[in-house]
Structure 1
Amino acid sequence: MSIEAAREHLKKWGRDQDIIEFDASSATVPLAALAVGCVPGRIAKTLSFQAEEGCLLIVAAGDAKIDNAKYKARFGRKAKMLTPEQALEQTGHAVGGVCPFGVGAQVQVFLDISLKRFETVYPACGSGNSAICLTLPELETYSGSRGWIDVCKGWQEIG
């Protein structure tokens, strides 16, 4: 079960017991924001894309959308999201619970600057009914991020 992979991963920092499991689904940004009780932007959604080798994950604010031109400029290729089957196979997490925790070394993780306007955010933890509250430095450390990037649009107008 992929929540167990995320739990095991977060145990390295003593945060495995801080995972919140909801009775209702938190598999979409609106559902997660409702479950957590926050604005949609604070939901740190993890989007999975094809890469030359393996896949790459971009953790972005829930109210942001991928800007195809920025993505292509950053990664040198068109943004092509993984299918649900590919996401499960390559990350170990099903869509709705994809997160940067407990994924293999071949998975590249990046954080989008759309998250930087929040002190804390809520990424999923491997299931469609889980989340954890993290500061941005914690998210950066726990995700093994390769850095902050700017590949999203739409969030600047929201605030």
Structure 2
Amino acid sequence: MSLDSVRAFFAERAPDIDVVVTEASSATVAEAAAAHGVEPARIAKTLTLAVGERVVLVVARGDARLDNKKMKATFGAKAKMPDADTVAALTGHPVGGVCPFGLATPLPVHCDVSLKAFDVVVPAAGAINAAVFIAPERMAALTDATWVDVCREPEAGAEESAQA
């Protein structure tokens, strides 16, 4: 169902963008990078976060980690990750396939400035084996995202298996 909502999103707003479905899982940053032949940093992971009484989506490069101080300064409260069932209910997407496209519930989307290091990034597309190739600026425009600076600089040679 969520893959369908993402396909419908792109059919309506950006028909030139293809949803790529692979046989391999792309549920983690490492799996997504391998499945799509890109470095892990280019994977645009979407994090669902409860910040006070609000739920927001933060899209960041695959090798970035949230900076708690920056998060609190930006959103005014400490961020917590909801459980997988809550994430699926709010977004309509399973953990590992969460993306800012075709959401079940309208949620504010925030793109971390870490994405601007790339001309093209690869966010999930509503399933644990689906993604799109998109310019960060276009992704932000299509999702009415706000640009934020809430991540730490990636550590040299750091590998992460966070969920995409």
Is the shorter-chain TM-score for this pair beyond 0.5, marking a shared fold? yes
Identity %: 43
Deviates more, 1:15-24 or 1:131-140: 15-24
Using the TM superposition, give the Cα deviation of residue 144 of structure 1 relative to its aligned residue in structure 2, in angstroms.
Answer: 2.1
Using the TM superposition, give the Cα deviation of residue 154 of structure 1 relative to its aligned residue in structure 2, in angstroms.
Answer: 3.4
Q: Which amino acid aligns with 2:45?
A: K
Alignment map for 1:38-117 (pairs within 5 Å): 38-52=38-52, 54-104=54-104, 106-117=106-117
Alignment partner of 1:155 is 2:145: no
* Aligned counterparts of 1:13 and 1:115: Cα–Cα separation in 2: 21
TM-score normalised by structure 2 residue count: 0.89
Alignment partner of 1:27 is 2:34: no
Root-mean-square deviation (CA), in Å? 1.9
Structure 1 alignment gaps of length 5 or more: none
* Aligned counterparts of 2:106 and 2:55: Cα–Cα separation in 1: 7
* Aligned counterparts of 2:135 and 2:29: Cα–Cα separation in 1: 18
Aligned length: 158
Q: Which amino acid aligns with 1:29?
A: V
> SS at 1:63's partner residue?
coil
> SS at 1:69's partner residue?
helix
Q: Is the 8 A contact 2:121 2:133 kept in 1?
A: yes
Using the TM superposition, give the Cα deviation of residue 51 of structure 1 relative to its aligned residue in structure 2, in angstroms.
Answer: 3.8
Deviates more, 1:85-94 or 1:147-156: 147-156
> SS at 1:38's partner residue?
coil
**What is aligned with 1:140?**
140
* Aligned counterparts of 2:137 and 2:17: Cα–Cα separation in 1: 19
* Aligned counterparts of 1:90 and 1:54: Cα–Cα separation in 2: 12
Alignment partner of 1:5 is 2:5: yes
> SS at 1:34's partner residue?
helix
Q: Is the 8 A contact 1:45 1:59 kept in 2?
A: yes
**What is aligned with 2:161?**
none
Using the TM superposition, give the Cα deviation of residue 136 of structure 1 relative to its aligned residue in structure 2, in angstroms.
Answer: 1.8
Alignment partner of 1:128 is 2:121: no
TM-score normalised by structure 1 residue count: 0.92
Structure 2 alignment gaps of length 5 or more: 158-164
